[in-house]
Structure 1
């Protein structure tokens, strides 16, 4: 089938939905071109079909494909941010990383190296998981590219700063403890957003505070409101290089049932998107969306939410890159 694509400013965009039905054709993210169909890409989306680090319900290995299928309805213009991300930046789908499902240590090394390879040309990386174990190697790669520890916003129902599960250091509940220990996070600018639910003990919070994390609970979002939360997060981050990690279980199960460890009392998809949009202009150096498990996703709600989160993250990165380039061009003209 011939691919009829939207093209603007020299960038090859998604398949034209006015010419080819949305349900037809290959299921790349937002029906964007594959990486091998463009000469270069400013932003690359990559899947990591890996869930060997989960402690409860499996299935996130199918998350990246599910997010792509759920993204077919996305359109080229983002009115909430007043930007056409696929027109101001070349965005492409880099396919999936092939990682060992039987060896977590090897999988982590593979993900880190693949992330470094994909960003070697200066591209930004948005990753579709996969379970939250994958955040650690992605943070390693982001920190190496930034040449310094990175700030981080972690959207999640859970802290993910536990020490071990069954003696294992690398699981979906331990990545950010390891990241702090490795010195790849800027502990003056790291925060959880949307946490809630029971813990193993008060020590969980004490450890988390010792690591440097700020906590914005789902109740904080409810009582304080999105604008106040955004202001606090922006103050904490400043102009530091920022990595954003989104566990889809930050959403209430009413909005995202398709995940491995659901918790009642979460934020809404509207609140999550509005907080992310409030980060406009910040120096986002990478992002991931993880823990989408399609087997539990009634009516595709979780996949749709995750696809929109990825869309707004891509929009923020594309907008920032375009504005930085315009500023550079004006400086050169002067």
Structure 2
């Protein structure tokens, strides 16, 4: 909430968002879509909740030793999607990402379910080609060819990336859930590091330097003890502290796009999941510049 003319009005912008799109280097887009969630729905409410709680954190990051005051980023609000129409929604998401990229800006998308990442990454790949590296933090492999007969599912988000880009350009961290077939597929087609995030990331991060990198973050990579506001909680994950430390490892990379997905606020009365997401977004804006 923000105080305006003596009245409380609902704030729909992430804290510190600049007023003019043209002034921004990073453009934030909310995607209220949870049409293919396989367990508990509700991620469509994630973008607005993350914005709402963002005013509760400081603009200065002790981890980055920087402040949002020194960055120009624009929150364009939420996309207006045709409810239940997956194909049309993916098309609209891709069009939004394409426009941002054509304007020479960096896309930062807030989900919503993980399927929203696919059209964004496809547009980023169209710009950078086979030089693009995708870093993926998640509890789940997301490598199913289909789920319940549907190829476009949040359970298939990373598999859909391999439809248009080299799988060996995809690095997956923190994965602790999936079918046997998914893990066998990953051994051949992607670079998967199970359960852990920070230590394996440190070992391979030098490979990414000098290359364009897209970072997709499913909040359920974090243990539900720290982030229970998600539709498919998976015990045995990393701590919120380890997630923030992992961002510090990424800070010297050329991050050309970022999304954070699967925050489902109705399952977290404390809002700690949304607050963690807001803190991650704050630091990612600084990393992206």
State if a TM-score over 0.5 links the two structures: yes
Check the 8 A contact 1:258/1:296 in 2, yes or no. Answer: yes
Superposed, 1:66-145 pairs within 5 Å as: 66-87=49-70, 89-145=71-127
Of the three residues 163, 177, 182, the one matched with 1:204 is 182
Q: Does the alignment pair 1:59 with 2:59?
A: no
1:177 aligns with 2:159: yes
Number of the residue aligned with 1:332:
none
- Which secondary structure state, in structure 1, belongs to the residue aligned with residue 258 of structure 2? strand
1:15 paired residue number: none
2:146 aligns with 164
CA deviation map 1:53-98 (0-9, x unaligned): 21110000111001111211232222211222431x3111111111
1:284 is the counterpart of 2:255:
yes
Contact 1:253 1:266 in 2 (8 A): yes
Take 2:137 and 2:201, find their aligned partners in 1: how far apart are those partners? 13
How far, CA to CA, are the matches of 2:246 and 2:284 in structure 1? 11
User: How far off its partner does 1:181 sit?
Assistant: 1.9
Task: Pick the structure with greater CA Rg.
Answer: 1
Question: Is contact 1:251-1:268 (8 Å) kept?
Answer: yes
SS of alignment partner, residue 287 of structure 2: helix
Deviation at 1:120, TM superposition (A): 1.8
Secondary structure at the counterpart of residue 174 of structure 1:
helix
Task: Work out the CA distance in 2 between the residues paired with 1:231 and 1:310.
Answer: 21
Q: Does 1:154 align with 2:136?
A: yes
Report if the CA contact (8 A) 2:223-2:236 is conserved.
yes
Query: For 1:306-330, what per-residue CA distance to the aligned partner results, in whole angstroms no more than 9, with x for missing partners?
Result: 1111111111011xxxxxxxxxxxx
Between the aligned partners of 1:308 and 1:104, the Cα distance in structure 2 is: 29
Which of residues 187, 211, 224 in structure 1 aligns to 2:167? 187
Alignment partners' CA distance in 2, 1:92 and 1:143 = 22
Residues 187-227 of structure 1 deviation map (CA, whole Å, 9 limit, x = unaligned): 34321111114x332x2211112222232x33x35xxxx3x
Deviations 1:10-45 (A, max 9, x none): xxxxxxxxxx99x866241124234xx454211111
SS of equivalent residue, structure 1 residue 278: helix
Root-mean-square deviation (CA), in Å? 2.2
Task: Say whether the 8 Å CA contact 1:43–1:125 is kept in structure 2.
Answer: yes
Tell me the equivalent position of 2:191. 213
State the shift of 1:145 in Å: 2.4
Residues of 1 paired with 2:40 and 2:74: CA distance?
31
- What is the CA deviation profile of residues 241-289 of structure 1, one whole-angstrom value per residue up to 9, with x for unaligned ones? 1110110111111111110100111100110111011111211110100
Offset of 1:298 from its aligned partner?
A: 2.6
Matched, 1:45 2:15: no
Alpha-carbon distance in 1 for matches of 2:9, 2:49: 16
Q: How does 1:265-276 map to 2 (within 5 A)?
A: 265-276=236-247
Q: Match of 1:263?
A: 234
TM-score (norm 2): 0.92
Uncovered stretches (5+) of structure 2, i.e. residues with no partner: none
How many equivalent residue pairs?
Answer: 288
CA distance in 2, matches of 1:79, 1:189: 31
